[in-house]
Amino acid sequence: MAQVYDSIAQQYKQFCSSPFAIYVETYTYLNLIGDVSGKSILDLACGEGIYSRLLKQNGAARLVGVDISSEMIKLARLEEDKQPLGIEYIIADVMDVGFIENFDIVVASFLLNYASTKDQLLKMCHTISTNLKPGGRFIGLNNNLDLLPEFYHKSEKYGLAKSCLGPLEEGSPLTLTLTIDSEGNKVSFDNYYLSKQTYEWALRSVGFEDIRWHNPLVAPEGVKKFSQEFWEDGINYPYFVGISCQR
């Protein structure tokens, strides 16, 4: 996994400025996370730190980002050098990073879908739980596990393609292809399908309660800029979903 993201770090960063990333993904995620003033936050699979920076700028008191890819963390640290926000970045695998400290909130956008087995998912969930204060919240974004492959093409107009060879089974690889610029350049990488039941089992096994799944929202500025109709496929056939739960 580290090598994959090491080789596409810069391209992935480019996709983060696409309309879908800004008006749907970021808007949904920040809405779910809510007020972060004065909170300590651990951002797992932080990538090049886009959400770590946003959460710190939105008032988080402490922000630690963890990612397995040294190239992703290099980009995150470059941003930190350009505009210091006091974010600490750690290169590590979430499955074995262990206890860092007790945080108010743990966030992870597009981490859990890299688990290809129940055991890997459980290890990731264990790290989330271990680093949360009692009563702390976990908020994540994830591939939408309920979307049937016959509808995967519905997100292509937003620059997001997803495919699966064969039926969706526990551990099936999914190939994601992102269009990263207006010239149509693309970048592809794999993650894995595990059922919602498996996710809920893993979260409950490490002590989480009140597990909720959330559909994407579109920012009012995105509707104004592109029309409601433009976003309808993204809402009716969600490419991703939010997850929230409490320890």
* Chain contacts with ligand SAM (rule: CB under 6 A): 1, 5, 16, 45-47, 50-51, 67-69, 72, 93-95, 109-111, 114
Shortest separation between residue 211's beta carbon and ligand SAM, angstroms = 20
Shortest separation between residue 46's beta carbon and ligand SAM, angstroms = 6
Nearest residue to 158 via CA among 46, 23, 13: 23
Interior CA angle at 154 toward 171 and 144, to 5°? 35
Please, which residue, 55 or 72, has the CB nearer to ligand SAM?
Answer: 72
What's the sign of the alpha-carbon dihedral 148, 154, 156, 160?
negative
Shortest separation between residue 109's beta carbon and ligand SAM, angstroms = 4
Please, which residue, 29 or 231, has the CB nearer to ligand SAM?
Answer: 29
Q: Are 136 and 106 spatial neighbours (Cβ–Cβ below 8 Å)?
A: yes
Give the tokens for residue 58.
Answer: 């939105």
Give the tokens for residue 27.
Answer: 């808007």
Q: Minimal CB distance to ligand SAM: which residue?
A: 47
Interior CA angle at 243 toward 240 and 50, to 5°? 65
Please, which residue, 8 or 132, has the CB nearer to ligand SAM?
Answer: 8
Shortest separation between residue 202's beta carbon and ligand SAM, angstroms = 14
Q: Given strand 173-179, what is the order of strands in its sheet?
A: 160-163, 173-179, 186-192
Please, which residue, 110 or 213, has the CB nearer to ligand SAM?
Answer: 110
Report helix angle 2-15 to 70-82, nearest 10: 40
Please, which residue, 188 or 227, has the CB nearer to ligand SAM?
Answer: 188
Shortest separation between residue 139's beta carbon and ligand SAM, angstroms = 12
